[in-house]
Amino acid sequence: MLSKKMSHHRIHMIHYKLKNYRLLAMKQLNDKNVITIGDKDTASAVLFWFHGYGANNWSFEPSMKMVNLLLDDKLYIVIPNAPEVGGKRSWYPLPKIGEDKSITEDYAGLLDAHEMVRSLIKDYANNNKVIVGGFSQGAALSLSYLFEESSKIKGCIALSGYMPNADNYKDKSTKGTKIFIAHGKNDNVITFESYEKTLNFLHSRCTDIHKCTGDFGHTITKEVTKEMTDWISELI
């Protein structure tokens, strides 16, 4: 057991790290570490796309350009970078798994990430329809943000993700916002069981969910991309 002195020191260090994480996140956002695709003035909607944990925005630039090409450039796509902390890019602190396999999630850290999303939408959306989406942790960020701002979101795309901090949103609904959700049955990063739990959570709170599954892992297949593109085309 930690001494009172050591416990106090540990708590101080945790708060120090969280404070610096948030400051770093906002600094990197203010530096406009963002890729944009398309023309905001002529687009039918703005898609904010969030990469997964440990990845970066440029890894999605080629595929998002292809998506917009297939949509006849009807999207203005905004792809930001998550803040880099400890050598890894992450939208919010990862869940902690205890010795008893219990999972502790950082809801405050998730809300900080929502502030980043809110700031991006304010800067880039103009008066266009807004779609939020992403892969893995970026999908989780998109789903949770949808429950915070459902009235302002036209659609949500969640690829190989999950619903974070679900207990904090059990009394909320998405008020009819359309959702596209895809997951591989062979995903060993975010399991298919996590997808099923997320789907069960969404079903009682969302009225329009398009599901796409298959025998693939933690990745985005050509089939998923095509189905997602067709879904966006109908949405906008």
Q: What is the pLDDT of residues 118-145, one digit of tens each?
A: 999 999 997 789 999 999 999 999 999 9
Q: Strands 34-37, 45-50: parallel, antiparallel or unpaired by DSSP? A: unpaired
Quick one: three-class SS letters along the chain?
CCCHHHHHHHHHHHHHHHHHHHHHHHHHHHCCCEEEECCCCCCCEEEEEECCCCCCHHHHHHHHHHHHHHCCCCEEEEEECCCEECCEECCCCCCEECCCCCEECCHHHHHHHHHHHHHHHHHHCCCCEEEEEEECHHHHHHHHHHHHCHHHCCEEEEECCCCCCHHHHCCCCCCCCEEEEEEECCCCCCCHHHHHHHHHHHHCCCCCEEEEEECCCCCCCHHHHHHHHHHHHHHC
Q: Which domain holds residue 205?
A: 4-235
Q: What is the pLDDT of residues 86-120, one digit of tens each?
A: 789 999 988 787 777 667 888 888 999 999 999 99
Q: What is the pLDDT of residues 70-80, one digit of tens each?
A: 999 999 999 99
Higher pLDDT: 226 or 175? It is 226
The CATH code of the domain that includes 139 is: 3.40.50.1820
Number of domains in the chain: 1
Q: Which segment of 32-36, 102-106, 183-187 scores lowest on mean pLDDT?
A: 102-106
Amino acid making up residue 141: L
Distance separating alpha carbons of residues 215 and 236, to the nearest angstrom = 29
Output the pLDDT for position 8: 38
Its pTM stands at: 0.86
CB 56 within 8 A of CB 28: no
